[in-house]
């Protein structure tokens, strides 16, 4: 079943709560990019009704011409939290209203793009030696998110130069490569 991107939250809320529907269990959230570059990205929601024992697959098509943005369903299902983070990490789809949209499987300062996109080469954008160089250059502040550094005195304990860089909004050492519009 395909639905409009703008209607996603209303439709899924209705599917969850309406008496005849009761698709109250969110099985999975994922995305598909086809090999044909003309086809839009698809966002896939797998639902299941625990009362009626029936599955339903809901899809949203996201055109690549426009920014990949869609409403988050975390207000409906808390379980969508990590699933949407994974889709964001792997496909670059932004979820509006997500409480904590960060990369999840790749590290937060990862700058090579979104691995499951078809324009992402299998072995990554950078050479092996470049990847090793970046891995060795990881600075301690890259291991903690800003939120975590604001717990206790962790921020104050950092060396002065890192504090200075963080204050400017720099985190990690790896610049994002320019991404051509696909």
Instruction: Quote the least distance from Cβ 67 to other proteins, whole Å.
Output: 10
> Could you say which residues in the range 65-94 bind other proteins, by CB under 8 A?
77-83, 90, 94
Q: Is 174 exposed, middle or buried (0-12, 13-18, 19+ CB in 10 A)?
A: buried
**Which of 9, 107, 126, 142 forms a contact with other proteins (CB under 8 A)?**
107
Q: Where are the beta strands (DSSP E) in 50-113?
A: 54-62, 69-71, 94-96
Q: List b or e across 20-58, with b for residues whose CB sees 16 or more CB atoms inside 10 angstroms.
A: ebbbbebeebebebeeeeeebbebebbbebeeeeeeeeb
* Coil/strand/helix, residue 96: strand
Instruction: Quote the least distance from Cβ 116 to other proteins, whole Å.
Output: 6
**Which of 9, 21, 22, 27 forms a contact with other proteins (CB under 8 A)?**
27
Nearer to other proteins, 8 or 16 (CB): 16
Q: Please give the residue ranges that form the binding site for other proteins (CB under 8 A).
A: 24-28, 30, 32-36, 44, 46, 50, 53, 55, 57, 77-83, 90, 94, 101, 103-107, 111, 115-116, 120, 122, 144-156, 166-171, 176
């Amino acid at each position: 079943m395909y639905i409009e991107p703008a209607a996603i939250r209303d439709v899924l809320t209705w599917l969850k709560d309406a008496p005849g529907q009761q698709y109250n269990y969110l099985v999975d959230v994922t995305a598909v990019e086809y090999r044909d570059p003309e086809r839009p990205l698809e966002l896939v929601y797998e639902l299941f009704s625990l009362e009626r024992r029936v599955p339903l697959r809901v899809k949203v098509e996201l055109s690549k011409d426009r920014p990949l943005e869609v409403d988050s369903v975390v207000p409906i299902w808390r379980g969508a939290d990590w699933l949407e983070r994974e889709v964001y990490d792997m496909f670059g789809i932004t979820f509006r209203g997500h409480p904590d949209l960060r990369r999840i499987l790749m590290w937060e300062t990862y700058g090579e793009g979104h691995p499951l996109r078809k324009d992402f080469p299998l072995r990554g954008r950078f050479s092996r030696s470049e990847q090793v160089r970046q891995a060795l250059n990881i600075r301690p502040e890259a291991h903690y998110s800003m939120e975590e550094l604001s717990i206790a005195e962790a921020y104050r304990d950092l060396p002065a130069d890192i504090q200075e860089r963080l204050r400017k909004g720099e985190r990690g050492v790896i610049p994002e490569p320019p991404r051509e519009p696909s």
